[in-house]
Amino acid sequence: MTLISPSIAQKKIAQNLKERRLQMNLTQEGVSARSGVPLATLRKFEQQGVISLESLLKIMMVLGMLEAMVAATKVSHTSFSSIDEVIALETSPKRKRGRKA
């Protein structure tokens, strides 16, 4: 369970990326030109945290944060306590969709 709401997360991510941009001594115009994200979109993102996923990833690429984002979403593998668990996992079919709620 998480204690942060999506709206707070949006604003924190926007703030973190703005701080990174400033650390790199880049202007909003510079990031916009390098990423292909319209300047108005970048400004709105930094102020409100609202942006499309594609634009966010383009900005993160310019700021050198894209690989960290991809790594953060990687599914971790289960640690095993016995060889039987490894064998059971390899022989069981992989889920292709979730259960109905």
The CATH classification number of 6-72 equals 1.10.260.40
**Can you give the pLDDT at residue 95?**
66
What pTM value is reported for the model? 0.74
**Can you give the pLDDT at residue 101?**
65
- The answer for residues whose C-beta is within 8 angstroms of residue 59's C-beta and 6 or more apart is 17, 31, 35, 37, 42, 45, 51
| C-alpha angle 67-59-9 in degrees, rounded to nearest 5 | 80
Give me the mean pLDDT over the 44-59 stretch.
97
Average pLDDT, the chain: 90
Q: How many angstroms separate the Cα of 20 from the Cα of each of 35, 37, 57, 84?
A: 15, 17, 14, 46
**Can you give the pLDDT at residue 65?**
97
